[in-house]
Amino acid sequence: MQRLTVKFFVQDPAVVYLPQLIPVFHRWIQTQAVAGLLLDVVDYKHVHQGPGVLLIGHEVDYALDMEEGRPGLLLRRKRQDTSVPLTEQLLTALQWATQARQVLEQEPLLATPWHFRPDEVEVTFPDRLHAPNTDEAWEMYRPAVAAALQTTYPTATIHLERLSSDPLHRLGYRVILKEG
C-alpha cells in the first residue's frame, strides 16, 4: 500500500481557527517538530469542509482536515516502501500521527489549546486501485488495521466500523476505542 491516512478528531471544534495553523506549520518545518521531510504549507481554508491547512512533506502530509464538518488532524502517508508489511506501515502512520497530535496539543501559538478525542480514530486507504471500497477489501485489510491498532492501544477494546459501503468513496475504518 502506498497511501493511507490516519485522522484524530478535535474534541471541541469551536476552538479550531485555521489561520493559527499557518505559522505553527511553518515553525514545524523549521524545527523538524514532527516526522518526515517537510516542505511547504498550503492554505485551503477557503474550501468548505475541505483540507483546511496542509503541511506538505515528501513522504507524509499533515493537515487540519475539515471533511464532513469534523475537524481533525490528518496524516497522509505516501511514497511508502511497498515491501514493508501493511501492519508495519499502519503502525508507523499511527505513531507519527500520535506524535503530531501531541505536539499540536502542546502548541504555544494556539490561542486556546486543542485537544483530540481519545475514543475515535479514522484509518482510510485513498488508493481505490489497490484498496477498492468493497466487502472483500474491507475484510482483507481489516486484520492489518486491527493488529496495528492493538499494538498502538494495547489496553483498549477496539471496534471497527466501515465508513461507507459506497464504491465511489475510499475504503475506510472508523475506530472506536474504549480504554479499560
pLDDT in tens, 80-106: 788 899 999 999 999 999 999 999 999
pTM of the model: 0.95
Q: Quote the CA–CA distance of 163 and 160 in Å, as a whole number.
A: 9
3-state secondary structure of 66: coil
Give the contacts of 108 (CB within 8 A, at least 6 positions apart): none
CB of 62 within 8 A of CB of 73? Answer: yes
Handedness of CA 157, 163, 164, 168 (dihedral sign): negative
Handedness of CA 124, 62, 93, 39 (dihedral sign): positive
Q: Quote the CA–CA distance of 111 and 39 in Å, as a whole number.
A: 25
Average pLDDT, the chain: 95
